[in-house]
Amino acid sequence: MNFPASPTPPPPSPNPPATPTAAPEFEGPRLSEPQRLINTFIAPKKTFEDLKRNASWWVPWLLGAILSVVFAVIALQKIDLGHFIQQQIDRSPSAQRRLENLTPEQRAAGIEIQKKITKGIFYAFPVFSLIKGLLIAAVLMAVFNFMLGAEVPFSRAMGVVFYAYVPFVVVYTILLIVSMLVSADPNTIDLANPMPTNPGFFMDPTGNQFIYTFASALDIFNIWTAILLGLGFATASSNRKPTAGTGIVTVFVVYAIVVLFGAGWKAMF
C-alpha cells in the first residue's frame, strides 16, 4: 500500500518579520550639564526628563559643595564664633540647664571646644549635604515607588533631589555670601534663619519653639524646592503613573510631616 507523501514545509522567508523592540525610555535632545543646571530654573521638566538618559547627580552636588566652602571661608572670617555659639545656647533651655552647674572655667573650655566643632561643621557641609541627599532620595523613592506605583531607580532619585535643590543652593547661598560681605556687623545675621523669606524671620527665635520652627519652614526657597521635587519624581518615573500635581502634593505632605515632627522635637528641648 502506498501512503501519500507528507507535504513539504515551505522554505523559510528570506526576510523574516522583525521582532518588535521596546521604544526607548528617553526621547528628545540630550542636555549638557550646564543646560541641565540652567533649565532647573527656567524649564525644570526638561532637566528631569534628561535624567532618564543619564542619572548623573554629581555636578549639582559639586556646585553646592564649592559654594558652601566659599561661604564657610567668608563666614569664619566675618563672624565671632563665640557670639554665634552663645546665640545657640540662649535659644536652647536644655543647653542653658547643662551650663548652670559648670564653673566659669569649665564654661570657657566648653565654648572653645564648641568653636572647633562648629568650624569643622562649616567646612564639612559638603559631606552633610551628600548624606542629606541620600536620605531624601531614599525616602521619596520609597514613597513614590511603593505608594504611588512610580518607577524611579535610586540613581535617578538622587539626580532629582540634587537638581531640585539647585535653585536653593545657588540663589540662597549667593545671597547669604553677599549679605556677609556687605553687612556692617555680620554677627547680627542669624545663620539659622538669615533672610526675610519666611514668617519666622520676623519672630522672636527664643519664643515658642513650635510656632517659630513651623513658621520658619514656610520659606520661599523650601516651597520652591518641594515643588521641584514633586515635579521631578513625577517626570522621572518610567511608567508616568503619578501626575505632576500628585507628585507636588505628595512631597508637601512628606515635608509637612517632617516639619511637624521637628517642631515638636524642638519644643520639647
Residue extents of the structural domains in the chain: 44-268
Count the residues in the chain: 269
Is residue 169 within 8 Å of residue 64, measured between CB atoms? Answer: yes
Per-residue pLDDT of the chain (269 residues; tens, 9 = 90+): 444 444 555 555 555 544 444 445 555 678 999 999 999 999 999 999 999 999 999 999 999 999 999 999 999 999 999 888 888 888 777 777 787 778 888 888 888 999 999 999 999 999 999 999 999 999 999 999 999 999 999 999 999 999 999 999 999 999 999 999 999 999 999 988 999 999 999 999 888 889 999 999 999 999 999 999 999 999 999 987 899 999 999 999 999 999 999 888 877 76
pLDDT for 194: 93
pTM of the entire predicted model: 0.86
Contacts 24+ apart (CB under 8 A), 86-90: 86/111, 87/190, 88/192, 90/206
What is the structure's pLDDT at 88? 82
Q: Return the pLDDT at 25.
A: 53
Task: Please check whether residue 157 is in contact with residue 237, taking contact to mean a CB–CB distance below 8 angstroms.
Answer: no
At 154 the pLDDT is 97
Angstrom distance (rounded) from CA 142 to CA 154: 9
| Cα dihedral: 195, 197, 199, 203 (round 10) | 10
